[in-house]
């Protein structure tokens, strides 16, 4: 069977994407090859998903007909690029998809000369098929490559195309965002405990409230401010709570958190 999709790095995010691609039928196990240095991970991935495994990154790049995803630590890109240098130019040009945080298209195109490259930033909810991925396009990509990337990342959630200049801002909102939401859920749960609820009930209420609110906003397209106004009755409990959040600078703190993450992403991208 022809190898269509290659994965360089079989870690948590790589496996999350791989599992959804196979479960959705976008690729069959035998159409996938994964390079991974750890023998235990290779064995697990082969047994769990029926994929081909190897330690040879060159093999992944030369055999994959459609796309190769880079799911490695950004720090080892240069070492892998040196390893691959001798195989260029390739007989065919698979789409290179990078999920390496902070690694620019310029650096990727230097490592993979004249190949179509798409830089992507998925987030951790991708592991349950509810991710948000932003993509930006390299110099050698065309509509076919964009469609392929959309197909791959739609398997794990939603996709938005942005210019590369906005990728640091994407990091601040959706890349780092799950941590802010987790902190909010933890604080909401702690508040429930402080008000007298048992911990398991407080956590259940907090998680489902955040999940349901997000789903409501997503499905109805209602503006968050309108939803807040709908549940904030005159002289009621919600406006009393919102007033305390405003006193504590909740809204401003979230805005500053996004800006700080974006700034740090920019710094990391400069090496």
Rounded distance, CA 20 to CA 128, Å?
9
pTM: 0.90
The residue extents of the domains of the chain are 5-166, 175-269
Rounded distance, CA 136 to CA 99, Å?
11
In degrees, to the nearest 5, what angle opens at C-alpha 140 toward C-alphas 134 and 143? 60
Pair of tokens at residue 265: 């992403």
Local confidence pLDDT in tens for the 271 residues of the chain:
799 999 999 998 899 899 999 999 999 999 999 999 999 999 999 999 999 999 999 999 999 999 999 999 888 888 888 888 888 777 788 999 999 988 999 999 999 988 999 999 999 999 888 999 999 999 999 999 999 999 999 999 999 999 999 999 999 999 999 999 999 999 999 999 999 999 999 999 999 999 999 999 999 999 999 999 999 999 999 999 999 999 999 999 999 999 999 998 888 777 6
The hierarchical CATH code for the domain 5-166 is 3.40.50.720
Pair of tokens at residue 97: 């998809």
The set of residues, in sequence order, having a beta carbon less than 8 Å from that of 6 and lying 6+ positions away, is 32, 33, 34, 35, 60, 61, 63, 64, 67, 68, 69, 94
Handedness of CA 197, 198, 199, 205 (dihedral sign): negative
Answer yes or no: CATH 1.10.3730.10 is held by domain 175-269: yes
- Give the pLDDT confidence score for residue 266 in this predicted structure: 84
Rounded distance, CA 55 to CA 38, Å?
8
Query: CA 105: distance to chain centroid?
Result: 17
By the 10 Å C-beta count (0-12 exposed, 13-18 middle, 19+ buried), 28 is classed as middle
- Phi, psi dihedrals of residue 9, rounded to the nearest 5°: 110, 115
Q: How far apart are the first and last CA of the chain?
A: 41
């Amino acid at each position: 069977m022809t190898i269509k999709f290659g994965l360089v790095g079989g870690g948590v995010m790589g496996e999350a994407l791989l599992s959804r691609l196979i479960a959705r039928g976008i690729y069959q196990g035998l159409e996938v090859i994964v390079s991974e240095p750890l023998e235990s991970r290779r064995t697990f991935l082969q047994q769990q998903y029926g994929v081909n495994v190897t330690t040879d990154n060159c093999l992944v790049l030369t055999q994959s007909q459609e796309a190769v995803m880079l799911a490695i630590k950004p720090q080892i890109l240069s070492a892998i690029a040196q390893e691959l240098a001798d195989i260029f130019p390739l007989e065919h040009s698979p789409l290179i998809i990078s999920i390496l945080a902070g690694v620019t298209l310029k650096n990727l195109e230097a490592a993979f000369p004249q190949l179509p490259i798409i830089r992507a930033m998925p987030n951790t909810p991708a592991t349950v098929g509810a991710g948000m991925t932003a993509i930006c396009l390299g110099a050698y990509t065309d509509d076919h490559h964009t469609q392929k990337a959309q197909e791959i990342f739609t398997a794990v959630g939603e996709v938005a195309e942005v210019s590369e200049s906005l990728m640091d801002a994407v990091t601040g909102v959706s890349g780092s965002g799950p941590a802010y939401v987790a902190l909010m859920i933890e604080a909401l749960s702690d508040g429930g405990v402080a008000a007298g609820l048992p911990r398991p009930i407080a956590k259940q209420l907090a998680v489902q409230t955040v999940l349901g609110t997000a789903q409501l906003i997503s499905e109805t397209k209602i503006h968050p401010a309108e939803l807040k106004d709908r549940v904030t009755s005159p002289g009621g409990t919600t406006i009393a709570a919102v007033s305390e959040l405003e006193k504590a600078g909740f809204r401003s703190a979230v805005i500053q958190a996004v800006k700080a993450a974006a700034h740090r992403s920019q710094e990391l991208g400069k090496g």
